[in-house]
Amino acid sequence: MPTSYWRPGDPIGRRRFVTTGPLDLESGEKLADSEIAYETWGEFTGDNAVLVEHALTGDSHVTGAAQSGHPTPGWWDGLIGAGRPLDTRRWFVVATNVLGGCQGSTGPSSVAPDGTPFGSRFPRLTVRDQVAAEIALADQLGIGRWRAVLGGSMGGMRAVEWGVTEPDRVERLVLVACGAAATAEQIALCSTQIHAIESDTAWRGGDYYADPGSAHAGAEGPVVGMGIARRIAHISYRSELELAARFGRGAQRDEDPLDGGRYAVESYLDHHAAKLGRRFDPGSYVTLTRAMNSHDVGRGRGGVAAALARVSAATSVVSISSDRLYLPTQQEELADGIAGAALHRIESPYGHDGFLIETEAVGAVVAQAMEER
């Protein structure tokens, strides 16, 4: 099965690009002249910009249909557009593809200065490095202050990091299904997914990319390992209640689990593994997952409480009742640590993925946050 990632020469769709200039990374390495892909909706009037941050396997295509250059429809489609919570008649909405991603921004599959893919030479990133790249993007777009920064899951990590790193440049925060720092269990789950990819014989130390322009470019890679990683992740994204109600112990149609067939829930995981393999790069999966493990707003700042005390944005924190990956206690920590923050609990059977599925409920919080002053 081929991997799928955006490459120069592919249809650009609605993407635009900025070059960040050299980035000094937390690891001590330097990443020269990275590109950040982004999309915008609405008209910039100088003080109406909103930044929407995507999760692990998302991209800049937050809203709109699947189209040339964008293989999947918008992942938060109900939130952005005329008459929606982020009304594009009023707000200038910006969404990036995160640094290290594979849908236009510089990542492991990108071409290095020597003309070959970075592969194993791509440096390790942290969430702070990714926000540094977004700060450079904001500077180039002439955005001195965001009216709001919002995101869920990994996107929420970047959003809260924005609030801590640049408190004077963020007026509002909406933090959905995320925490102030990765927990031991989250690191364990993420590290197991990384091991699944790196154990695939097609990983080749991260140097599995064909030469740019080759007929085989993007046609190889550790998609079996990434499929296992996706299965592990997807179990943590949903709730036991939903899986039990939706699948129970039922067999997949025309299959017998007692004779080598699959249970229905196995077929469901197989489907999502194959789906991701058609649109995502394993190298980016490893890079971004490691960045998630790095997440800790308190590192080098005197701890989480001291870091959260730096946030001056009007903050709304959203938890999903059945989230077993980012437990509601983590959102409580955010709300307790950020002065004046409001905590909203969404009752949902969908687990962590509720932040994507419960669009109406999330949208109501966003709409309220955007009206508060």
Catalytic residue among 34, 60, 109, 153: 153
Residue whose entry in the numeric block shows the structure tokens 């470019």: 217
The per-residue pLDDT for 144 is 98
Token couple for 9: 């020469």
Catalytic option among 60, 323, 344, 353: 323
DSSP, collapsed to helix, strand or coil, labels residue 277 as helix
Strand 148-152's sheet: what is its strand order?
16-19, 35-41, 92-96, 49-53, 148-152, 172-176, 314-320, 342-346
Task: Single out the residue of 93, 69, 70, 71 nearest to residue 82, CA to CA.
Answer: 93
User: What span, in angstroms and rounded, lies between the C-alpha atoms of 359 and 81?
Assistant: 13
Say whether 316 is catalytic. Answer: no
pLDDT of residue 5: 83
Per the residue annotation, which of 54, 61, 70, 352 is the catalytic one?
A: 352
The DSSP result for 294-318, as a single string, is H-BTTTTTTSHHHHHTT--SEEEEE
Q: Is 120 a catalytic site residue?
A: no
Is residue 344 part of the annotated active site? The answer reads: no
Q: What is the pTM of this model?
A: 0.95
Provide the token pair at 277: 């393999």
User: Which stretches of the chain score pLDDT less than 50?
Assistant: 1-2, 212-219
Positive/negative CA dihedral, 229, 161, 84, 336: positive
Which residues are CB-neighbours of 330 under 8 A, at least 6 positions away? 178, 179, 180, 183, 319
Give the E-state strand segments of the chain in sequence order: 16-19, 23-24, 30-31, 35-41, 49-53, 92-96, 148-152, 172-176, 314-320, 342-346
- pLDDT for res 139: 98
Task: List, in order of start, the domains of the chain with CATH numbers.
Answer: 16-183+295-371 (3.40.50.1820)
